[in-house]
Structures are given as C-alpha cells and as structure tokens.
Structure 1
C-alpha cells in the first residue's frame, strides 16, 4: 500500500519553511505595531457555529466543510475560516467586558475547505486574519484596511488593487434585497440551482455566483449603493475620507459582496494585478460584521476583520519576482578530528548553543576535507577546528569563512569570542 500526501494538502519542507517563518514573524510584528494581540482557537468547532456564523446559504457551509461525528454523536467541523471561532471565543470568554476596547485580535493557522485543488487554493491552507470587536467607528474600518494593505506592501508587493464597497445597514440591505428579488425573479429559471435557492434566502449571494456571473441580468442588477440610507451613505463616505487622509488608493466596486453572510457596511478585497499571477486575482478580503456577535449568543457588538492566505501571498511574491531577505547562513560549524577531540567538541558545542549561538557539527564520521565541504553547504560563517595539536594546547582554530582569516582561541574564551565576532566585532 502506497502512503501519499492527501489531495489538496502540501508538505512545507526545509528551504521553503523559512519563507513561511519569515512571513509569519513579519505579520506578527505588523500586528504588534497596530496593537493587535494573538488568539489561538481549536482546529475544530461545533458544526452549528459555522452554520450560524458563516451562513447556511454560503458555498462554504453548503459544499466545502469537513464535518464529522465524534464518538459522543456530536457534529464537529474542521474550521473553514477564522472569524466565527474568534467571535465564539470573544463571547465565551467575555472579552467584551475588558476595559480596553475595541478588542483587537489576530490569528495565524490552518483552515480546511473541501474544494477543487488548484494553484494557490488547497484543502488545508494557512490563514492570517485580524478582528476588531467593539467599535462602530469608521476609523476602525480604515485601520483594518490600512493593516491589510501593509500586510502585502511590507514584503515589497506593488501590483495591488484595493476594492471596496458598502453593503449598508439592515434597513439598506432589506431595501436592496427586495430590489434584487424583483430584478432576478423573472429570470429565476435561467439561474443555476444554487441561485434559485439564494434568491429566496439571501439574494445578495446571487451577485457572487461563479456560474451565473456572465448572465445578462447580472450587468443590470440594482446596486446596493442605490439603496443606502443616509446613515449608511455617511458611514461609507467617512471610511473613504479616512483612506484618502492616509493616502491609500482604492476603487469602489458596487458589485463586491464577499462570500459570507455576516457582512454589512464596509466590504473589501485586495487583488493582484501582477502579470502571470493567475485567473483568480483576489489575495484577501474582509469587511464589517455588525450582528455576528449577537448571532453567536453575545451582546450587541460591532466588528470588522479580514483574512489572507499565506499560500496566495507567496504566489504574489513569486509573480512579482520578489525574493525574501532570508539569512540561511549557519553561525558556526565544528570540525573535530579524533576521538578525544570529538568529546571536547561535543562539550563546547553544547556550551555555545546554550549561549544562543547557532552551531552544527559532523555526525557522519567524515574526513576533515569532507567536513569542510559540509560547512560550505551549510554556508557557515565560521568553522571551529579541533585536532590533536589544538587539543593539546586547549585552543580552537577559528576560521572566518568569508575572509579566510584564522585565530586560535582558548577553550574558556570561545563563547565570548564567537559572540563578539557574530555581533560584528563590537
């Protein structure tokens, strides 16, 4: 029997995992500057959380969730997205009662969706996202949009387009909902089976259909912007004004609705215009979800957030030819010749590592020449050489692999010497 990788998943191997680490650490640093704190939620939740939180008319709930029954007969689902879990934790742990509001959170972790695997879209993928809960200030919307754009720009990406729209408040959405029903009802039989159901349950989702996107009725569908009440119009204008103040470019797309049921007011996507990026240009998206906290059992609490796929971020970097500034050089490689030298090298390697210095050594019983070749493959900055003569003198030959310079350092001084050298000789 052949054991192979499950379809739609990937192994992230050394040489590639360093890119992920670099991206994740920089995203965490970005969140720290915006004062967002990390939250970690379970990989699976009760299925009802996603049915209520994400929406039972979405493709995610209807077609893409990995749902199973545990031994106690409970229906559980591997999380397909992060917001519902974060909001559940926000409610369950009463974070709304903390004195510092809004509650600003970020997460990084795997999500699971059963969909057709393709470039940049896998069944297990890693998502980074933020959620700001507790404020209905348009300034928070602008902050989230700014953070989202920075999440790409700080890695050097330039071919970006921010697309925004307003989905309005409950009153505006109801007015738009009725207008959509009136518009699409004469074409009901021409729409796909999913849209025929959506037309009754959530007609806004019809605008997001991939099958019917080229139907003539789509081009003439009533815009939500035509049905915004005064409050919703003013809210959207303030969001745009804040973006203008920060100098963040954007495009208003009246047909942008996003794929989840819980959005209202601000909705947005960030797209890549890079040549060769692929047919699916969306990098990330998000929006405001006033009402979601109440749906999950909490008090009335406004919220807004966004999420991005690390896989698609890596694709965008590749499309623009951007190399991440990774430092893959090894600090030190220890070469020891002889049984007694090996014992001393083991002791000194342990001491160097405890002091915070990155060290490796030979475990293949290779000759000195082969060990030097190994040091080159590891791109070692320094090679520490210990043979019979050095052992007798209680000293180590330290070779700078960049300059070729060599010095002898006493055993008891090697840790401080290497610290100084690696710090630039200061």
Structure 2
C-alpha cells in the first residue's frame, strides 16, 4: 500500500462568478433591502420565479437570433431529454407564469422580484456570468400611467440608495405597432443604400433587426446612424399622445428626463416607452437600470394580447455605486455583553436573548481569559457596553454607553426587568 500523500489543490471560483463578503455584501444587502421597502410603498407583489425554465421560454421571448440566445444562455438537457435553460432575465419567466398560472385574474398585476441570473459573456467591471437583478413589472395595464409609476418608483429607489446624483433618465418612444413597422421599413431602405460601409454586425442586423444598428458602438456605423430616419417622423397621433402623457406624468412627479432618440429595443414586441437610467461612473457599462413597454410579448409566448411594462437593474452595479458614494449602512453593533465570570453564563444568555428580542443587535464575549473580556468588548465599538460579573454571590452590572442614546435607555429597562 502506498503511503504517498495526494496533494489536493484548493479549488477556485468559476470564472465570471464571485463570492460576496464584508463591505461588498453589506452594500448588496442594502440594495435589496431598499428595493423591498420601496416596492412595498408602491404595492408591488413579491413573486419567486424558477431558476431554470424550458429553453423555448427564452428563445421565443428573446429571439432565436439574438446574442443572448445564440451565444450567452446556459442551456442543457435534463435526464428526460428536455432542453432547459438557466434564466438569463426575469421578464420571460414572469410572462410565462402570467399565462400558465392563471395570474390574468389579478390584472392589472404589479409584481417584483430579485435573484441570480446567468449569462455566458466576457466578465468585466460590474458584470459577471452569475449576476443578480432586481425586477419590477406591471402586466395588464395599457395606460401610460403604468409607465409613469414604474419610472417614478425607479427614480425614488435610486434616490433612497443615495446614488441619484450623476444618473440621468434617458427616454424614448418606439411608437405603436403601425408606427414601429413604418419606421423599421424606412430604416431598412436607408441602411441598404450604405450596407457595404456598415460594420459586419450591422450588416447582419440590417434585414432582421435594423433598430439595433441605431445603438451600435462601432465607429464605422456612427456617420450613418446620425442621419438615419427618426421615429418621430412616423409616429401615429395615438403614439404621440401616449408619449406626451408619459413625459407629462414624469414632469408632474418631478422626475427629470432627457430624450434619447437612439435608445431602441430590437425585438418586435416592444412598443411605446423605452428607457434607461445611465451613469458615467461604471466605465463602458453605464446603464444602472433599464426597461420598456413590451405589449407584444404575451402573444409571442402563445398567450392572449396583454399590455405590459417593466424594468430591471443589476444589484452588483447598484452596490458598486452605493459603496462609491459611501452610502452602505455600516455594520454597527448596538450592545456588547462582556461576561467577566463564567458563573454568570446563564444570566448572560438570558440578557443577550432579551436584548435581541427588544430589536437591538448584540454580541456576547464569553471566551478567553475572564479578566480580559471587558477590555476586549470595549474595543469593539458598540453603542452600549455591559459588563457582567459576580461579587459576593450577587450578579453585578457595569453599563457604559457612548451617549444617552435610545439604545442605553432600552438596555437599562431590559436589565431592570431581568431576575439576577
């Protein structure tokens, strides 16, 4: 029998994933907690969605030829031979649930969720292959007021996260179906005349997705996109009125916005409002929250015509902005209990339990040399420090605080009611 030891190399995280700890985790939690609080103010119902769906849910909703479907989705066959996909976004799964789970009875339905998503793409600052998003959707509401409410909600969220400074809401309209079709035909005719001078990606998009050429970052496309036909020249009166009501609602709510004519959504089921909140503090990835109205998606998935609008935002990106602004809540401790005599252990446990039941965070120092526990506890920086010792058979308290804060009053009241 060989006595040679096998060397086991410590495994590393998968490329494009991350372990979140310390200040990063606190900023992440701050984003989620703020989102949960704000969505309750707007009466958005919480939903939980499956991490994987049938591949067709995403291929039909995102388009077979889009980069997400053709290059970025994590798809696999299960043991029954069915093709499944880890969700690359939330909207398609929520739309599928609306159709299959009888959610139509609750329309107009306001829902919100958050969790991990998966895309195989080049990792960069603020972008990972496993990433997390917050998401809000209004389904079954055709009125522009739904768009306004979602945008006001997003604006309030960014303000309450403390990152609204330097973030701009860019807004555009894609018109109704007839407006969009007329604009699309004009774009195809315009770009066909210069096809040979376009980038390879834009040449590929020309016939199947010409709107995407407008937001091309390739410098070869810039001279042509600047003079391309504008949606405003093809808007129906109804589409103009819809957009006017959206912008009017934002003005009434005090939400600043700027028109972005090149802001588009390539898939045919998008209608009317398209928007992004952008910043210059994340390098090339400047969008911190984005969305739009997707009135044609339910039909694309086999459901009845149903208007809908929604947005999503990357939690990692929001957390980065929160940390840069210094707005993440510090991991403060309300009370630290120093157990200076092991004979008082049960009383210390009783006190610690009562402190937490009163809504205060608490830690108990009960290991190591009893003589050094009080000094160790004093270095932690809690708002209230409680030393517990035994003198002449009696439990003795030494309570100190940094100020006559609310926490000190609560602690005094707690110990006044405990039996020693």
2:320 to 306, 315, 321: 315
The root-mean-square deviation of aligned C-alpha atoms, in Å, is 2.7
Taking the aligned partners of 2:28 and 2:349, their CA distance within structure 1 comes to: 31
State the SS of the aligned residue for 2:23. Answer: coil
1:224 aligns with 2:231: yes
Q: Deviations over 1:338-385 (max 9, x none)?
A: 4422344334434544554433223542443255324522x2222332
1:418 Cα deviation (Å)? 5.2
Taking the aligned partners of 1:8 and 1:419, their CA distance within structure 2 comes to: 53
Taking the aligned partners of 2:253 and 2:279, their CA distance within structure 1 comes to: 21
| Aligned 8 A contact 1:272 1:316 in 2 | no
User: Residue 169 of structure 1 aligns with which residue?
Assistant: 176
User: Residue 414 of structure 2 aligns with which residue?
Assistant: 417
2:189 to 172, 182, 194: 182
Report which stretch shifted further, 307-316 or 276-285: 276-285
1:271 to 252, 274, 278: 278
User: Residue 202 of structure 2 aligns with which residue?
Assistant: 195
Report which stretch shifted further, 349-358 or 174-183: 349-358
Structure 1 unaligned blocks of 5 or more: 406-412, 421-426
User: Residue 376 of structure 1 aligns with which residue?
Assistant: 379
2:344 to 333, 341, 346: 341
1:279 Cα deviation (Å)? 3.0
Taking the aligned partners of 2:79 and 2:356, their CA distance within structure 1 comes to: 46
1:213 Cα deviation (Å)? 6.5
CA 327–90 in structure 1, closer or farther in 2 if over 3 Å, else same:
same
1:328 Cα deviation (Å)? 2.5
State the SS of the aligned residue for 2:114. Answer: strand
Which TM-score applies when normalising by structure 2?
Answer: 0.88
1:11-26 alignment, distance < 5 Å: 11-26=19-34
| Aligned 8 A contact 2:28 2:316 in 1 | no
Q: Deviations over 1:248-267 (max 9, x none)?
A: 22111211104655421110
Taking the aligned partners of 1:301 and 1:38, their CA distance within structure 2 comes to: 20
1:403 Cα deviation (Å)? 4.9
| Aligned 8 A contact 1:357 1:419 in 2 | no
User: Residue 408 of structure 1 aligns with which residue?
Assistant: none
Taking the aligned partners of 2:322 and 2:416, their CA distance within structure 1 comes to: 34
Q: Deviations over 1:99-144 (max 9, x none)?
A: xx41001111111111111111121221111100111111111111
User: Residue 38 of structure 2 aligns with which residue?
Assistant: 30
1:158 aligns with 2:162: no
Structure 2 unaligned blocks of 5 or more: 1-8
Taking the aligned partners of 2:413 and 2:346, their CA distance within structure 1 comes to: 21
1:38 Cα deviation (Å)? 0.9
User: Residue 410 of structure 1 aligns with which residue?
Assistant: none
CA 248–374 in structure 1, closer or farther in 2 if over 3 Å, else same:
same
User: Residue 288 of structure 1 aligns with which residue?
Assistant: 293
